[in-house]
Amino acid sequence: MIECGHFIGGKRVAGTSGRKQDVMQPMDGTVRGTVALASQAELRAAVENAKAAQPGWAATNPQRRVRVLMKFLELVAKEYDSLADILAREHGKTIADAKGDIQRGLEVVEVCIGAPHMMKGEFTDGAGPGIDVYSMRQPLGVVAGITPFNFPAMIPLWKIAPAIACGNAFILKPSERDPGVPLRIAELFIEAGLPAGILNVVNGDKEAVDAILDDPDIKAIGFVGSTPIAHYIYSRGTASGKRVQCFGGAKNHMIIMPDADMDQTVDALIGAGYGSAGERCMAISVAVPVGNDTANRLMEKLVPRVESLKVGPSTDSSADFGPLVTAQALERVKGYVDTGVKEGAKLVVDGRGFSMQGYENGYYMGGCLFDNVTSDMRIYKEEIFGPVLSVVRAPTYENAIKLANDHEMGNGVAIFTRDGDAARDFASRVQVGMVGVNVPIPVPIAYYTFGGWK
């Protein structure tokens, strides 16, 4: 049994609040260990450590700071397999998906090695008689990140690396569902030469979050998670005078034009809709074929592919996806499928009854596929976060683009077509933050920005 405490002042520390939560292993429903839930006092201890260490780190030559990132990359490379194993066992995603999770985080670390160049200021000689003007970039001080369960390596690294490269101290509050990898990441940063106190990890629930939001010494917060919690964090954090960046929920559409290569399209939908059991903020959860003929051709090829998806434990390298993260998440997703049926959508493939011999207590369900979904249904409007794909038939291209633009979420969108003019028109008119053309999950490469439109 593992015991996950916190990481404060350069070392692991046991929790002192007396509150704990089980860390589950989704593939078989067993208890893997416990995680401590921090009190306000424990969060404050992390802040004090960060506040004391930050001035010296900010005064460190930027090149020396990024050498820590270089060494960190070397250390992670040696532990890649073990980190992926921890991640897969605590989250439930396959080993292949776990390695991808880590890799996308490391790509941002690699970009941040260029921070000394990116932080250069501006200079104007002779702006006035005897006057020069220049700008300087200064770290904020102590900053924090509140990250979700679905990418326990990638999203923490997206926040840690830029913050510390720029001379800040960072406090991470990861998801209490899969705390193992964030704690090991913190240890590896110390082994790479990061001074104690610059990176602290505080595990916890709402009490820890509220302490972060209210602490006067934390100057900025980054959050990724559900939209209701994003609203809460943004309003409470800004009320405390902090800079706050929040990424909420998503409902990503794929527009399928009549001229699309249908085999390529279906391959893309299978990976983008069902990979990692649909627990991705960039998952394609809505397919929008343009015209009934396109829809019929799509369904003819898509249905057997969804029916043949292999669900298996995280350690099964041949599985297409693994279990959901918790029993509660499983019941929530099944509840959405029940709702879709009640709303009148046609459930073409039903994965609710899936069970695996030897893993009966795991949090599994098979892929689900709805047809004839309409924009007034809950399964269309809300983020399901599971292996459920909805097909919304659009009579025309204009209807399809309006569908994407009218949705209250605008994170990612894709169009599959062979028509360059249609692709260009779509990219310029769609009101969504990240657009893919024949690319199902349009997550930009690490040196581009990431974010939605709405």
Residue 281 falls in the annotated catalytic set: yes
Tokens 């929008």 correspond to: 288
pLDDT of residue 454: 84
Q: What pLDDT is stored for residue 379 in this prediction? A: 99
Please report the pLDDT score of residue 342 as a whole number: 98
Span 419-426, average pLDDT: 98
- The pLDDT score that the predictor gives to residue 87 is 98
Could you tell me the pLDDT band of residue 218, with boundaries at 50, 70 and 90?
very high
372: left (phi over 0), alpha (psi -120 to 50) or beta: left
Q: Structural domain boundaries of the chain?
A: 2-120+138-247, 252-437
Phi, psi angle pair for 406, to nearest 5°: -80, -15
Residue 312 CA to residue 363 CA, distance in Å, equals: 10
Same CATH fold assignment for domains 2-120+138-247 and 252-437: no
Mean pLDDT of the chain: 97
Write the single-letter amino acid at 156.
Answer: P
Instruction: Provide the whole-model pTM.
Output: 0.96
Instruction: Report, as an integer, the average pLDDT of 86-106.
Output: 98
CATH topology of domain 2-120+138-247: Aldehyde Dehydrogenase; Chain A, domain 1 (3.40.605)
Q: Classify each residue of 36-53 as buried b or exposed e, where b means 16 or more C-beta atoms within 10 Å of its C-beta.
A: bbbbbebbebbbbbbbeb
Mean pLDDT on 326-348: 99
Choosing from 112, 166, 281, 368, the catalytic residue is 281
- Domain 252-437 belongs to what architecture? 3-Layer(aba) Sandwich (3.40)
What does the pLDDT look like over 253-306, one tens digit per residue? 999 999 999 999 999 999 999 999 999 999 999 999 999 999 999 999 999 999
- Residue ranges of the alpha helices (H) in 290-406? 292-307, 327-343, 378-381, 397-406
pLDDT band at 18 (very low <50, low <70, confident <90, very high): very high
SS3 label, residue 50: helix
For residue 180, give both structure tokens: 């193992």
Confidence of residue 1 (pLDDT cuts 50, 70, 90): confident
**Residue 180 confidence (pLDDT) above 90:** yes
In tens, the pLDDT along 357-382 reads 999 999 999 999 999 999 999 999 99
Share of the chain residues as helix, strand and coil, in percent rounded to the nearest 5? 40, 20, 40
Over range 71-85, report the average pLDDT: 98
Q: Is the pLDDT of residue 241 over 90?
A: yes
Q: Which of 116, 134, 113 is nearest to 125 (CA)?
A: 134
Q: What whole-number distance in Å separates Cα of residue 336 and Cα of residue 379? A: 6
Alpha carbon of 437 to those of 243, 268, 378, 423: distances in Å? 34, 12, 27, 6
State the average pLDDT over residues 80-109.
Answer: 98
